[in-house]
Amino acid sequence: MLQGAAALDATPLDQAKPYSEIPGPSRFNFIRSFLPGGRYINKPVHEMFLDMNKRFGDIFRMPGVAGRDIVVSMNPVDYETTFRHEGQFPYRRSFETMDYFKRVHRRDIFDGADGLTSGNGPAWGKLRTAVNPILLQPRNAKLYVNNILQVNDEFLERIRAIRDPKTQEMPADFVEEIRRLVLESICSVALNTRLGLLAENRESEEAKQMIKALANIVELSFQLDLMPPIWKYLPVPMFKTLMRSLDTIADFCYNHIQQALKRIEEDARDGRLSTEPGMETSILEKLARSNRQTAVIIALDLLFAGVDPTLVSLTGILLSLAKNPAQQARLLEEIRGVLPEKNSPLTIENMKHLPYLRACIKEGIRMYPIGPGTLRRLPVDVVLSGYRVIAGTDVAMGSNYQMSNMEQFVPRVRDFLPERWLRDESHAELVGDTATPFMYLPFGFGPRSCAGKRIVDLMLETAVARLVRNFDIGFDYPIENAFKQKFFVAPNIPFKFKFVERTM
Ligand code: HEM
């Protein structure tokens, strides 16, 4: 363990310093810093966090962000305290614009239900309990592994079709192909539907609108939610664009789900499908069996929450492998062990024997996290870094930035070294706080952690294994500004990967 991590803060509540003394900018100065000429105007959020960390210390207060303070901790001791006090229904602040969309704008679809990503309290607990066994049980992976593999085949074909024959490089907008891969994969799981985004329907108006809408949502929800909510009182064009983009996705999911459910019902009626519980052939069918509305809401959640993080993670992992040929060679050797031929089938069984692949994925996600960390609104007062943080305050944790940027937590922090995850004696000096509980939390923690974890694992393992088995992956450009960081991270350069065909 390095100096970063330590034991739980033992200061009793009545001896803690008062909440009002937590350092931070005044509300006025904080708002001013986002206005023209301000300190944080157009700055990525991680720079703002690191700057405030320098100015105010390990804990600081961002006053009244969208009506409520956010206390940011960059002290690992506080992470454990926060998660240990999160209560039965861990509360994560959602985007106010998303709440408005679900509760007011599209009440016709949501009918008062907030879903997983933005719901809280007992209603969230009930939904999460219902979907956990469906989404997270390893044995359910057999319901979607074939879909994911099929989509992957199309992705490899697409790469071969668009590759520059001279340079072997991808076009500048290759990240859009990765977006399509992820979107198609998630839709194949959540909607049990193939959309053809990588193949026959790639030019369809629907595909283009979906892609545009997803990009708008990521960009605009953050901007609107960090600023004072003027959209509640005035017609703000950005807000209208956001609602229209959310409409596009919601209608798309809703229509596809209606069609998929109709197909399932017809198949069951005509005897092509078993109506017995436990005999379902898709995630959607399992969800629909509990409740049709649940199926729609969960599918929307999976799309909203899943596409961008997976896109960023996969791009980061590929970039890391491209820039680190020795690690790529070691990974290839491991993959060859289970896939002797370029087109040997990948199965749930043989995927179990790829520890270095999993280490590469973990390391890539460490180096390119999707955001600072997660948030919790605590039901009780707690002591964080010696201050009494009152119940109802939103606490943000910055562990992802520490793990990706700060040498005091991870040795050779900006080097891609999957070996540190293998936990064998020979690489003990590389482990640092990667082995400390509550430090490496890219998927969050506890009952509120990522509901798509199994699906992501399968998507990433399949994509990386098959790409590395088929191609020598290269990238001949600088990568310092590969991603821009607003609240969530987004691709920022032309990802002209080189995919040179392996001869054997
Ligand atoms: C590498 C890709 C991904 C990363 C790094 C990631 C990370 C996260 C994180 C940090 C959270 C919040 C956890 C917390 O507050 O403790 C979360 C929540 C969630 N994620 Fe993911 N995620 C990824 C991909 C996906 C995918 C592909 C899906 C869907 C198929 C998905 C579905 C969800 C859902 C539904 C939630 C909300 C869970 C809840 O609040 O109950 N995620 N994810």
Ligand 1 atom showing the smallest separation from residue 444 Cα: 16
CA end-to-end distance (rounded Å), the chain: 43
Ligand 1 contacts CB of residue 116 (under 6 A): yes
* Local structure of residue 410 (DSSP, 8 states): S
Total length of the chain: 504
Cα–Cα dist 46/3, whole Å = 22
Ligand 1 contacts CB of residue 449 (under 6 A): yes
pTM, two decimals, is 0.93
- Residue 325's CB: how many other CB atoms inside 10 A? 13
Residue with tokens 């600088």: 478
- The per-residue pLDDT string of the chain (504 residues; one tens digit each, 9 = 90 and over) reads 444 444 566 788 889 999 999 999 998 888 888 788 888 877 777 778 888 999 999 999 988 766 788 999 999 999 999 999 999 999 998 888 989 999 999 998 888 888 999 899 999 999 999 889 889 988 888 888 999 999 999 999 999 999 999 999 999 999 999 999 999 999 998 888 888 999 889 889 988 898 889 888 877 887 787 677 788 888 889 999 999 999 998 898 888 888 888 887 888 788 776 666 666 777 877 777 767 778 878 888 898 889 999 999 999 999 999 999 999 999 999 999 999 999 999 999 999 999 999 999 999 999 999 988 899 999 999 999 999 999 999 999 989 988 998 899 999 999 999 999 998 888 899 999 999 889 999 999 999 999 999 999 999 999 999 999 999 999 999 998 898 876 678 889 999 999 999 998
Per CATH, domain 13-501 is 1.10.630.10: yes
Within 13 Å, how many C-alpha atoms sit on residue 414's CB side?
4
Ligand 1 contacts CB of residue 452 (under 6 A): yes
* Local structure of residue 390 (DSSP, 8 states): P
* Local structure of residue 232 (DSSP, 8 states): G
Ligand 1 contacts CB of residue 372 (under 6 A): no
Tell me what pLDDT residue 277 has.
66
What are the tens digits of pLDDT across the range 112-128? 888 999 899 999 999 99
* Local structure of residue 501 (DSSP, 8 states): E
The reply to whether 450 sits in an annotated binding site is yes
Q: Pairing relation of β-strands 483-485 and 489-491?
A: antiparallel
Tell me what pLDDT residue 9 has.
67
CA 307 to ligand 1 centroid distance, Å: 10
- Residue 322's CB: how many other CB atoms inside 10 A? 20
Probe residue for ligand 1, chosen from 311, 438, 450, 459 as the CB with the greatest number of ligand atoms within 8 Å: 450
Tell me what pLDDT residue 3 has.
43
Of 183, 165, 167, which Cα lies nearest the Cα of 175? 183
404: its two tokens:
């990706």
Residue 382, strand partner residues: 389
Cα–Cα dist 496/170, whole Å = 5
Ligand 1 atom showing the smallest separation from residue 459 Cα: 27
Tell me what pLDDT residue 2 has.
42
CA 450 to ligand 1 centroid distance, Å: 3
Closest residue to atom 18 of ligand 1, CA basis:
450
CA 265 to ligand 1 centroid distance, Å: 30
DSSP track, 184-231 = HHHHHHHT-----TTTTTTT-HHHHHHHHHHHHHHHHHHHHHHS--GG
